[in-house]
Structure formats: structure tokens, C-alpha cells
Amino acid sequence: MEPHDPLPPFPDLSDLPEDCRVEASTGSFELGQSPEGFRSGFVALVGRPNVGKSTLLNQLVGEKVAITSPIAQTTRNRLRAILTTPSAQLVLVDTPGIHKPHHLLGERLVQTARGAIGEVDQVLLLVDGSEPAGRGDGFIVELLSRTKVPVQVALNKHDLVDPAQAAELEASYRELVPEWPLHPVSALTGAGTESLVDALSAALPEGPHLYPPDAISDQPEQLLLAELIREQVLEHTREEVPHSVAVQIERIVDDGPRTAVLATVLVERTSQKGILIGKGGSMLRQIGTGARQQMQKLISGPVYLELFVKVVPNWRRSASRLAELGYRGDS
């Protein structure tokens, strides 16, 4: 389980028989082929940390394209998911939660979220509708009010709202955003999401398909695989190794029915490395097993996953290291 330099060789998958190989197929769809009156565009999901943006994104698309965790500030990259209906195509941009940053990584994440606002056709502000509007919501509303981008509001966690308090809770947000449409939804159960999609679609400009109808994300495979590993780290270590972890995909070998993935998990302290590896490598095996199961769903086939842990002190405060990991604040 110790990191090695150079990295160990990958399993040789080149001797698999020809009848085990899978050929990629291509369809006849061409971008721009859309029915009359079709609408398309980009919708940014913004909000405070841990209000359920990634959960809602997965619910809308019907596939797992964004990692979720009860730990705040899970999302780090500006992830794009694609939802196509008979009448519209919505490119949903999941952004990091807007919060007060405490290090350079935090600053880059907030820059990423703010940067998305001015580059989309409309914004979906997601709030925790099970609680009254708070100061954090007000800060984001003030930020959004400076833009000319149309905004709609999703009151998430509606499944947790006591019916006797629903009107009062909704009124607190109506007072905060008197001119923006409100949509009570549950990202967890899917309640209210159909009408939300209809409202978002109706507000998009007319335009052709931007992606093939069966696409669910335009993100590189390496990013999606790395995020699945990081999700398992957050799930198994909780507060012990909260945000001091990053994942680098070192190599992917796809030769036949099995995909082999080699990844390095970066932490800031030796003690965190010990937690991630666990006694006899038990924790790292749990993380790897959980990540591999999720990867197999994404890839639709068997996955061989090998993980290593490396200590990189203060990587969250290093501009060069953040750039290497893809956290530039503008993407």
C-alpha cells in the first residue's frame, strides 16, 4: 500500500482473446438535428455548501455523474451534466458551494462557482428549504442580483418539511427573492423535479442539441474516476481526513472487457496517510472496493483498481500543486 517511485507496472491485458474485446459503436446522430421549437442551454446550480446540488444533479440526469457526501464542500470542479428531454437539452453546471474560504483551495473553489454565473443562460439557486432563509443565502442572492442572468430557486429537502411549517418556510424565501420563481423539490426522492425541469426548459433560448441525446456528461473519464475515489475517502474517513485529500489518476489501461486504473491519493500529513491505509491496509481496501464498484457502474464493465497514498504537505496552499490537480479557479 506504500507509494512507489516509479509507479509499479500495470497488469498485461494485451493477451486477451479477440472475442473478449469490445468495439466502440457510433450512432448516426449529428449535432444540430433538433425538432422545431427545441430549446437548449446552460444552467448553473449554485448555493451554499451541502445544500444538495450534486444530489439534485444526479437525480435530474438519472445517473451518478457527481459525487455526494454529508460533508460540506464536496464538489470541487465545475462539473457539467447533460439532461435531454423531447423538447429541450439542459447542460447542468454543478459548482462548488459558495462559502468564506480559509485557504487557497477554498479561494479557487469560490472563484470557480462565481465564474460559472456569468457564463450560463440561467441560474438555479438551490437552498435548504427545510430551514428558514439565512445570511448565507442572502449573500448569494446579493451576488446573483448583480448579474443579468435569469434565476430560479429550488427549495430543496421538501421531504423533510413539516406541512404545518411549509408556508412559513416558503414565505421566508419569498421575502428574500420576491421576483424569482420558487420550486419546492426533493433531490433525494425526486419529488417536484419534473415541474422544475419544465420550468428551466421553458426559460432556455431556442436552439439545437449541444450534445448527443444519450450523453450524460462531457467531463473527462479521469476526472469522473478520481471523484469516485474521493467520494469513498470522504465516506469512510468522515472528519478524520475531510478536505485534505486529492486524487490523481496516474494511468488507465482499457484493453478488452476489463479496465485497469492506477491512482494516487494525496494527503497533507503522515497521520492522515496512516488513517487512509488503516491497520494492515484495511481502510484502503474498503475505499478501493467501494470506488471500484462505482467505477464499474460508470464504465459498464469490470475494473481493476490499484491505490497508493502519498503525503504532500500543504498542497491546498500551493498554487503550482493546485494547478497540477486542475484547481485553477476558472474551470
Cα separations (Å) of 23 from 16, 257, 279? 14, 10, 42
Q: Tell me the sheet residues that pair with 304.
A: 260
Enumerate residue ranges in the chain where pLDDT < 70. 1-33, 65-79, 97-116, 118, 238-243, 318-331
Distance, first Cα to last Cα, the chain: 33
In the prediction, which pLDDT does 165 show? 94
User: What is the separation of C-alpha 96 from the centre of its chain, rounded to a whole number of angstroms?
Assistant: 8
Q: Measured between alpha carbons, how far is 318 from 258 in angstroms, rounded to an integer?
A: 36
145 CB-contact burial (10 Å; exposed 0-12 / middle 13-18 / buried 19+): exposed
Alpha helices in the chain (DSSP H): 53-61, 104-117, 135-145, 163-176, 193-202, 221-237, 270-277, 282-299, 319-325
Q: What is this structure's pTM?
A: 0.62
Please give the backbone phi and psi of residue 268, each rounded to the nearest 5 degrees, phi first: -100, -20
